[in-house]
Amino acid sequence: ILMPSALLIPATIVPVSAPPSALPSPSLSFFGSPSIEARPPSAAPTAPIDAGAALHKAMDRFIDTRLRLIYLLANIQVECAFRLVEENLAYSAKRICEVWPTRFPTPASAKMFERNPIGLANKVYGGRMGNVNPGDGYLCRGRGWPQLTGRDAYTIVGGIVGKDFVANPDQLLTLEGSAAAAVGFFAWKKVGDLADKDDLVGVRTRWNGGGHGLPALRTAVALLKDTWPANGMPTQLQPARAAPTS
């Protein structure tokens, strides 16, 4: 895939060079805070990571236009600012009520789940999103760049990119796994057609299910468009591949 010559993404990813065929551009520095409450994995990487290899390998699937590339990276920025993170469920009772007001109308109703990530995840995610087995809620909690959540998402996205995220969910806390999951999620949700229409609201709704993070997405998209102008990067990056039908 043809990409700008350098990416600079915070935290666990360091600047890397793209293949020689890539078009030159300035380094890109993302900014802002993620739209989720997340924490680094317990075994956070300490050595520099080759982001370029993982990104190029993953984006070879389904990311075949300039706008798809822009909207993929912008949505990852909104979700987790390119950090390798998993969902933080060690909430106070007050915070639990704020996040799930219908399920927990009072602090007293949330008290038993306070600072109890396993219990909380199984309570709020159990029995939905494909979580049918005991413990699925915590096993399939939000992880990685797309904050993939639920057994259905783990299974479907894993199938698209050829990875078993259910059997080995910590793959989502690796650079290669996160990059693959983000691209697979983009394909699963059929974001590409909306990205090609430059439909910012539609893209965010398709990705997130609503308008949460829309202002941050608008900012990130504008930055990327300025960094990679239409006349400085080919509209079609590679032969298109159809998104999965299921």
Amino acid 237: pLDDT: 54
Question: Highest mean pLDDT range out of 29-43, 146-160, 225-239?
Answer: 146-160
Cα separations in angstroms, 26 against 7, 8, 17, 176, 188: 8, 10, 12, 24, 31
Residue 126: CB atoms within 10 A of its CB come to 16
Strands (E) across the chain are located at: 6-7, 16-17, 38-39, 86-87
| Residue 229 main-chain phi, psi, to 5 deg | -65, 155
User: What pLDDT is attached to residue 110?
Assistant: 96
Burial class (CB in 10 A: 0-12, 13-18, 19+), 129: middle
Closest by CA position to 81, among listed 11, 135, 137 = 11
| SS3 category, 29 | strand
Q: How much is the pLDDT for 226? A: 82
Q: What is the pLDDT of residues 182-231, one digit of tens each?
A: 999 999 999 999 999 999 999 999 998 888 889 999 998 988 888 777 76
pTM reported for the whole predicted model: 0.76
What are 157's two structure tokens? Answer: 């996205």
Q: Percent of the chain, pLDDT > 70? A: 70
R_g over Cα of the chain: 18
Residue 127 per-residue DSSP state: T
Query: Are the CB atoms for 38 and 201 separated by under 8 Å?
Result: no
Cα 192 to chain center, whole Å? 15
Sorting pLDDT into bands at 50, 70 and 90, what band is 150? very high
